[in-house]
Structure 1
Amino acid sequence: MKNKSKKISLFQYILTSLAVAVIAVTGTVFFYEWQLRKTPNYSFAGSQGNEFASVEQLYHLIRDNYAGEVDTQALINGAMNGMTEAIGDPYSSFMVGEEAEEFDSSISGSFGGIGASMTMKNNLPTVAEPPIKGSPAERARLKVDDVILEVDGESTEGLSLSEVVSKVRGEKGTDVALTISRGNDTFTLTITRDIIPVESVTGNLDETHKTIGYVRIKSFSQTTSDEFKTIVKDLRKQGAESFIVDVRSNPGGVLTEVEKVASMFLKDGKVIVQFEDADGQRSRTKAGKELDDGFKVTEPAVILVNENSASASEVLAAALKESAGIDVIGTTTFGKGTVQQMIPFEQAEVKLTTGKWLTPDGNWVNEKGLAPTIEQKLPDFAYLTVFDTSVTYEEGMSGEAVGTIQEMLKATGDFTGKADQTFSSETAAAVKSFQQTHELPVTGKVDQATAQTLSEVLYELILESDTQYERAVKELT
């Protein structure tokens, strides 16, 4: 089977996390999931009534009467940030100074980090989007709504998003420890930072079927459509006669770029996507030369999706499914059906949800996702949950983490017993077997080094057991 590009949603924990850390690694909320169409500064002069009278009164009260020093700009920024947070929309946020600059630069830059995007929720940094595919964050199996409580032992309470981002960022190969709150569980993950590449598209021929070209779109950045066109041309020269397009764990990106890629697969005049603004007014984008410059992909094709394919990647999958009759293979997508705009203010920016997007047939996938035409899941071990690697697990312990370890050892072939969440002597023997095979100290205990190696091995197994990719090949042969 082949390349490591295509991959899974299940290795979201596996190693050091890039995506989530993108969070810190690639900037705050990434260049993903927003419409790259900046609008002029808004003027609030002439607001009717005294809607802001109480706000202004509080501003003057604090400025004129507070016993200590007052940073008036901080008061204004705090009020604007509070209004944005009050919306309750995880995709809308107020950014100022370095935070705004980092967000803008992330659209085309690369950073040392983990590959996750985040937002502030209840004044705490929270994973906002599925981690970037193949990133440390995805391999560490960070998930949407994971709350980052600590970075390297330091509490994130009271820190701004940019401050958290700067702590998560770092040089490739260095580690960052994130203490995560997920539901009722709290655990710590040690993630090895990596470079979040600018390259958004990769491709190769299938190792067995040399006429099948595989194209993976990691995200939709400003250069994605050009990269995609170049990859397709190269694969054609190598003999590709059909294509697998992989947007699994693609968190989205620049709207205009996904429109260009989609147009390459559609006949001119076919609807790519529809938009509905706050007033309910609809518009649509159609395929045409103005988007694809006359470059078309007419060969047989399929597209791969999973539960972490979000926003722009869902736009592409829906366009291919409904306007081109191309099979969508995998699992139901993430379900992000809103559109964001960046609105500039003086020394600040607001990323605001201004509408929603609909599929060519007028369906809204928000919180529902796009269903595949061919459902294909990965092996069960690809969906195992993450466990706290800061804890050493040994005989006599019990709990969900132990059950996860047992399932992982089953996948590696070291454990044949029942995954009953009890660290028995049989489990210890399986750990020793694994440690011996991978030249680790043979203790029968799952310490941090054993846990990380186990995650890495499982990650490789997932890549080698890509049933979704295999189904795509089957459909094209």
Structure 2
Amino acid sequence: MKKRWMKKAAASALMAVMTVSLIGCGSVKMTTKGTEDSTRDTTVKMLSSSDVVGKETNEKLETIQGILDKNFYFEEDEQAKQDGIIKGYMEGLDDPYSVYYTAEEYASFMEDTEGEYVGVGVQVSQAADTKTITVTKVFDGPAKDAGIEEEDIITKVNGEDISDQDLDTVVDKIRGEEGTDVTITIYRATDAKDHEYTMPRKKVENPTVEYKMLDNNIGYVEVSSFYEVTADQYIAAVKDLESQGMEGLIVDLRNNGGGLLDIAVEMLDYMLPEGKIVYTKDKDGNIIDEYNSTDDEQFTKPLAVLVNGYSASASEIFAGAIKDYGIGTLVGTNTFGKGIVQRMFPLDDGSAIKVTIAKYFTPKGNDIHKVGIKPDVEVELDSDAYRESKGEKDNQLQAAIDNILEKLGKKTADSTEDSSTEDTADSKDEKADSNDDSTESSTTETGTSEN
């Protein structure tokens, strides 16, 4: 798809924030593959190990290695030790979004952004304070077949307690070679019991966009992440719904932890009038990038956007722009609040580091980091009714439907009853190719990923 949006201050493609990781569906973490900024010096100064860690630390490492050589019982894995040193070095930054990827982890990450990977087919998120990892979405695949459900809490992988491990580490444990088995233990609050499921790892496509026509000619588009295929899928979905006679649109970004920045921008260019979409600033307050929409196309029908506490990064860029321009109504609960941007720096051996380089701001200049975006219509999900009905009773979706009906002048006492489940058509987008840059999202309070 031809990019219609404009980018000022040609800088490197920035990694947008993302909190979701897909286990077997692609990672909901998001980072942008960066093209280097021709206006800035991005040369990495080569330093000796003593320059980096200091003489005392270098001597301490040598002392430790001497102790290991004489006393360690098991066989040493030199590569694992080196990777561990670098991971620890990055952890010393005290930024959960600045991390080191081994060559294998980086390859897996890049696979995720393409919307397909080997896993079990769930989206998960992690609370930064407790490190609790919760299943936020289950796609068609091994996990769904095994019986894993939304809101299950993952406690063990292959019998190993993962309660103190970060999201990336757990995702890597769940993923693996196609055809091999993985055992996942979860805690389910509905029966207050632990459940253990063993399932095969399979190649899974991440269905980033699903759509259907609801009653009263209201289109519904669910976007689970912002991957390379998503913009084409989203625009195709909206156009198809319009061809079916759509009068209003609901975009569901709940549990969407983010993805590729450029993809969110491309989707917004299709929706917004000409003007600013999002811009980023470095630590000195200098504008790095500014993304602007063109006047080629603009969505003018009644619009509502569903958000919740797991809507992060690229989702917040989308929601923030819609709110600032006043072209749609945000419905749900406060968003995650990840307003920082990361860039991926590939290294010569196939590994990479992801580094926080900037904050992003909505068109009106709002800084949403650790704050999130407050919806126009605040509605807490009735989780009991939602779970018991297997998603059919969704009071947040119903609130969005009511909002659209009000805008259309159609709302009556009878028109909204069960309208969220009375579909007149149902369809699913097909995967399309895209060469856009990717962005990764995470947040300080929660993190999400696909596996």
Instruction: Determine if the TM-score, normalized by the shorter chain, exceeds 0.5.
Output: yes
- If each structure's helix is expressed as a fraction of its own residues, which one has the higher value? 1
Tell me which amino acid in the other structure corresponds to 1:377. E
Check if 1:468 corresponds to 2:373.
no
Match of 1:236? 242
How many Å apart are 1:372 and its aligned residue? Answer: 1.0
Check if 1:331 corresponds to 2:333.
yes
Tell me which amino acid in the other structure corresponds to 1:200. T
Name the SS for the 1:370 alignment partner: coil
Name the SS for the 2:84 alignment partner: helix
Check if 1:203 corresponds to 2:205.
no
Structure 2: distance between partners of 1:21 and 1:191: 22
Name the SS for the 1:140 alignment partner: coil
Check if 1:282 corresponds to 2:282.
no
Closer, same or farther in 2 for the Cα pair 1:476/1:152, shift >3 Å? farther
Match of 1:378? 381
Deviations 1:21-59 (A, max 9, x none): 9564346xx253323326578343379967532333234
User: Match for 2:160 among 154, 171, 196?
Assistant: 154
Match of 2:368? 365
How many Å apart are 1:288 and its aligned residue? Answer: 3.1
How many Å apart are 1:103 and its aligned residue? Answer: 1.3
Closer, same or farther in 2 for the Cα pair 1:353/1:168, shift >3 Å? same
Unaligned runs of 5+ in 2: 1-18, 37-41, 409-451
Match of 1:320? 322
Check if 1:245 corresponds to 2:251.
yes
Match of 1:103? 109
Tell me which amino acid in the other structure corresponds to 2:279. Q
Closer, same or farther in 2 for the Cα pair 1:60/1:48, shift >3 Å? closer
Contact 2:21 2:28 in 1 (8 A): no
Contact 1:24 1:167 in 2 (8 A): no
Unaligned runs of 5+ in 1: 1-19, 383-407, 413-454
Contact 1:21 1:169 in 2 (8 A): no
Contact 2:342 2:357 in 1 (8 A): yes
Match of 1:449? none
How many Å apart are 1:330 and its aligned residue? Answer: 1.6
Contact 1:221 1:253 in 2 (8 A): yes
Closer, same or farther in 2 for the Cα pair 1:21/1:197, shift >3 Å? same
Deviations 1:356-412 (A, max 9, x none): 112112222122210112223333xx1xxxxxxxxxxxxxxxxxxxxxxxxx5xx59
Closer, same or farther in 2 for the Cα pair 1:163/1:50, shift >3 Å? closer
Contact 2:25 2:206 in 1 (8 A): no
Alignment of 1:71-470 (within 5 A): 71-108=77-114, 109-117=116-124, 127=133, 131-132=136-137, 139-142=149-152, 149-156=155-162, 164-165=170-171, 167-169=173-175, 176-179=183-186, 188-190=194-196, 196-206=204-214, 208-210=215-217, 212-268=218-274, 270-289=275-294, 294-345=296-347, 346-379=349-382, 382=383, 457-463=388-394, 466-470=397-401
How many Å apart are 1:177 and its aligned residue? Answer: 3.1
How many Å apart are 1:236 and its aligned residue? Answer: 1.6
Q: Which has the higher contact order (CA 8 A, sep 6+)?
A: 2
Deviations 1:57-116 (A, max 9, x none): 234334556225655443332221001122222223211132221111111114432423
Larger Rg: 1
Name the SS for the 1:257 alignment partner: helix
Tell me which amino acid in the other structure corresponds to 1:217. V
Structure 2: distance between partners of 1:216 and 1:275: 27
Closer, same or farther in 2 for the Cα pair 1:319/1:159, shift >3 Å? closer
Closer, same or farther in 2 for the Cα pair 1:154/1:133, shift >3 Å? closer
Structure 2: distance between partners of 1:155 and 1:377: 32
